[in-house]
Amino acid sequence: MGGTGGIGLSAAKAFVVEGARVCVVGRDSERVDLALEMLGENAIGFSGDASNPDTAIQAVELCCENWEGVDGLYHVAGGSGRRFGDGPLHEITDEGWNRTLQLNLNSVMYSNRAVLKQLLDRKSAGSILNCGSVLGASPSPEFFSTQAYATTKAAINGLTRSSAATFAKDNIRFNVLSPALVATPMSERAQTNDDIMNFIQSKQPLDGGRIGQPDDLDSAAIFFMSDESRFVTGQVLSVDGGWSVGG
């Protein structure tokens, strides 16, 4: 879910290079078409909203029609709820809260549930990887005080670890990649703010102090989605340039 831009598209390209077949889903049909053109013959996909429970079911059905089924899921879809009214707790509107949870948490549950059911029905091993955020565990109130968003990312950690414990016996793994600020369409507000970018230089000090790039996460995504991580489950890996350990 969310494989048509930013972190998701970068990962999809890396997966294809490694020999995987991928199904990508995004809300913008033009971006879906562009992604499929870039990814080539080993990719299928369609336009859909991950916050609609039917979208994940449709994605699984499409994979089963074209291939034997789904072996794994990388859920990246989500976004900022700021425009709906997310912000500091005393300013969050009801719409801001509900829309942010629908966008960033309900969508994860829908996709995880749909893929898990298919894996269980097939009695197949598999890997489910969710994209979280350092804001779920390492707040930054000066510039990133969107507390509904932070709540959803903390909840993704809980959902993932709880599911990992339940389904380890079925050889189905659940893990989280937790990035800090990455240069994607969602972070355009931050990228154009000089104060935030100066802050990022010290908050993400690795590699000279910089904003992350989508491909910074690709190697970790490949690890979790492949048999290289066959003995790893319930983990939250921060790929954050040092954010979560810095000052």
Per DSSP bridges, beta strands 172-179 and 126-131 are: parallel
* pLDDT, mean of residues 55-62: 96
Asked, for residue 29, whether it belongs to a domain, the answer is no
The pTM of the full predicted model, rounded to 2 decimals, is 0.94
How far, in Å, CA of 126 to CA of 119, rounded?
A: 7
Q: Cα–Cα distance between 74 and 76 in angstroms, integer?
A: 6
CATH code of 156's domain: 3.40.50.720
User: How many independent structural domains does the chain possess?
Assistant: 1
pLDDT of residue 247: 65
pLDDT at residue 89 in the model: 97
Instruction: Report residue 187's pLDDT band, with 50, 70 and 90 as the boundaries.
Output: confident
Does 63 map to a domain?
no
In which region does residue 237 sit, left (phi positive, over 0), alpha (psi from -120 to 50) or beta (all else)? beta
The SS3 assignment for 75 reads strand
- Tokens 């990992």 correspond to 164
Is 90 inside any structural domain? yes
Query: Does the pLDDT value for residue 2 go beyond 90?
Result: no
Span of 85-89, 135-139, 186-190, 225-229 with lowest mean pLDDT: 186-190
| 47 assigned to some structural domain | no
| Residue pLDDT, tens place only, 82-95 | 999 999 999 999 99
Domain coverage including residue 102: 72-245
What's CA 199's distance to the chain center, in Å? Answer: 24
Residue 128 falls within a domain, yes or no?
yes
Instruction: Render 2-63 in DSSP notation, one character per residue.
Output: --SSHHHHHHHHHHHHTT--EEEEES-HHHHHHHHHHHGGGEEEEE--TTSHHHHHHHHHHH
- Select the more confidently predicted residue: 28 or 149: 149
- What number of CA atoms fall less than 13 Å from residue 196's CA on the CB side? 18
DSSP label at residue 143: T
Question: Is 69 or 101 the better-scoring residue by pLDDT?
Answer: 101
Residue 40 pLDDT > 80: yes
Residue 209: inside a domain: yes
Residue 8 falls inside a structural domain: no
**DSSP bridge pairs for 157:** none
Confidence band of 188 (pLDDT split at 50, 70, 90) = confident
What's the N-to-C CA distance of the chain in angstroms? 33
For residue 100, is it within any domain? Answer: yes
